[in-house]
Amino acid sequence: MDTVAPCQRSETTTRPASVAILSRSFSRHPALRAELLAQYPRAVFNDSGAILKGQALIDFVAPHEAAIVGLETIDDALMAALPKLRILSKYGVGLDNIDLEAAARRGLKVASQPGVNRRSVAELAISYMICGLRGVMVSFDEIRRGVWRQYAGRQLSNATVGLIGFGHVGTEAAGLLRAFGSRVLAHDIRDIAAPAARLDVQPVDLTSLFEKSDVVSLHVPLTARTANMLDEFAFAAMKPGVVIVNVARGGLIDEAALDRALRSGQVAAACLDVFAREPPEDSELFSRPGFLGTAHIGGSAEEAILAMGRAALHGLSAAGDPRALIPAWLD
């Protein structure tokens, strides 16, 4: 299963008169601000430090013809409240926060550049795999409690890593894992024979991946098909002591089931960069010694921020039919 929608064909779009930049990362980056203002001097930036929602989002975008969208939810009701809006350009990857069907019905054009932050996200996934296998979180917790113990972990080079999703980030992670010498399995609903062979990866069904993997890493979008795909039954089917990594999308994991699996020891470690609700509220996961949680930082490397920002800037003049961004497998 791919991590993002297929690449949209570029087409000429009439330049918008004014742009609202919703993305906080874009807004606080001086180089991106300068580059955008050079082309769109009437642009406004989200300097609030918060993800805008509801009426605050409507008020911010309403006077403008275009918006650069980060993690904000852009649904049909919001579009209905923004009659002047005609262009949406995505900062980052993953379009689950934009209702593409509604955008098409309302005549909006949408731009997205798949895979623009793949290396940044893949490197974070690799670091999480190492942390989980080596017991970094457990050792840190023990030291804080006055316990000095040498945790007996495992090398990534001798581990079997199962990648669920073999799109842009999945294949990038596979290339990095190849350098470590790891055995890599991959599951995808698409035919991945060619890229898997090139990267010495073994395509497998999901059951086999669960049974054989020391690390299970998620690299799929959030859809009706993938929501809570790692639940109590999935964890029970995995090898005891498995390491779970999710740098893809929140909502792919049943977090309550993960908490139970950590407490039972079925899951030895879990490293999540994304959550069903962001920021998480009253999550018991953060009290578990084998758990590591970060604040959706996968694409926050300096290099990725620049690449995503420039892709979003280009998208303002190259947006097209949102239906071209709807994957064939999305139902």
Residues involved in catalysis: 249, 278, 296
Question: Are the beta carbons of 295 and 279 closer than 8 angstroms?
Answer: yes
The token pair that represents 125 in the structure block: 């996934």
DSSP code, position 67:
E
Question: Are the beta carbons of 153 and 134 closer than 8 angstroms?
Answer: yes
Cα–Cα dist 137/210, whole Å? 23
The token pair that represents 281 in the structure block: 């509220």
Cα–Cα dist 3/280, whole Å? 23
User: Residue 22's CB: how many other CB atoms inside 10 A?
Assistant: 23
**Helix, strand or coil for residue 242?**
strand
Cα–Cα dist 94/226, whole Å? 14
